[in-house]
Structure 1
Amino acid sequence: MFKNYNRQEEENTIVSPSNGAFIPLSEVPDPVFNQGLLGKGFAIMPSDGIIKAPISGKIVTTSESKHIVGIETKNGYSILIHVGLGTAALLGQGFKYLITENQTVTKGDPLLEFDLNFIKEKAFSPLVLTTLINIVEDQMLLNWQNADELIAGETPVVNIILRHKLNM
């Protein structure tokens, strides 16, 4: 049976939240991420300490440890950006939010800053993880882009193509 999908829309293109090198999620040294327990996604070995919005939407998740940001899009799916492995234990040291919860952001807006050298020294890994946490397989098609070196707020990484909603 054929499934009908909408044309690709710019608002459904997820760009890199960080400058750095692309890493497949399957290579992340943490089973919560590499087994997809928090959704499908990708990782980045960051080259600096700035995180930008990979998509436009509303900030729906922040934490006292300042290492995560969740964004919900107008199409209803959510993106989670998680900076580093073992960074929750730092209790916010080395991190600075540039946003507040419920704030609306545009793709490419700065979200948070972190001290990359501090994170490399104190955490298990500085990897920046980006996951789509509520993808519904039969309603969305993920079209992964080819990119090795990523530019925060600019380089397309994945396109989400939403299935047509047919009125019958």
Structure 2
Amino acid sequence: MTSLVQPPFGNFDAAHPALEVADRLAGPVARALADWADTGAAGSVLYVETDPEKADTSVFAEAYQVPLEASANCVVVAAKRGGETTLAACLVRADMRLDVNSAVRRHLGARKASFAPMDTAVAETGMEYGGITPVGLPGGWPLLVDAAVAGAPYVLVGSGRRRGKLILPGRALPLLPGATVLPDLAS
């Protein structure tokens, strides 16, 4: 039996410590939580069960009464320079726009940066489209986190699957592998 906890926001039927319900997470996410060197951060992550038909940001926010500024989208980008492509993840608040053409491109030292194709993002992360999360990204990937997300008391992100979300303290995001907090990643 798993513990029930009160989430810091939203209207969910139940919330559980994510480590207690690892079987509900995508494989890479469950492994990342279990292996996270900062056990306090890993233990602070909550899991909420949600309807996969309501996974898209605006529908989700309304259905579960989650403010957009408390939700973050994890976007996979492809940065190209000299015939080489680097994949990276960017985490921005749901009410903001990722600055791919300037901030992302400049930080990654790329000539061109764009959103990665859906099939590439899904295949490379091992996560479902619409559920990609910064927890459990492939090793070596840069994770660019907008300062507004890292500064939030709590933030809701994907769980690796369209069914379910994670809620974690914003202060835990810079502790994820490959994370860099940037002040102007989104506007």
Q: TM-score range by the shorter chain?
A: 0.3 to 0.5
Which structure exhibits the higher relative contact order, with contacts defined as CA atoms closer than 8 Å and separated by 6 or more residues?
Answer: 1
**Structure having the larger proportion of residues in helix:** 2
